[in-house]
Amino acid sequence: MCRRDEAGLFFAPSKEPTAARLSREEAAKRVCARCPVMVECREHALLQPEPYGVWGGLTAAERRVVLARRRRREMELKKAARATAANRIAG
């Protein structure tokens, strides 16, 4: 879908007013919502990470939040694994 739409819908022009940006991003997200590869697109943008634009239904700011949550979760899982391993050795 997004390949047929104008790239301007997914990427901000310089000095775009906030109201215009929010409206454009919502329109881009509506296109994403109908896309059969939305999840794959989102994962691509998260793995790269893509610093700009709407990818897989998420803005750059939303992707930063997702990535921060993933990092926290990974750290928590590693900490829990270390604690489990320490308990096995001690027990």
Question: Which residues lie closer than 8 Å to 35 by C-beta, 6 or more apart?
Answer: 1, 2, 41
Does the annotation list 82 as a binding residue?
Answer: no
Say if residue 91 carries a ligand binding annotation: no
Report the C-alpha gap between 21 and 53 in whole angstroms: 11
Is 61 among the annotated ligand-binding positions?
no
Do the annotations mark residue 49 as ligand-binding?
A: no
Amino acid at 90: A
Q: Which residues are annotated as a binding site?
A: 2, 32, 35, 41
Q: Which residues are annotated as a binding site for [4Fe-4S] cluster?
A: 2, 32, 35, 41
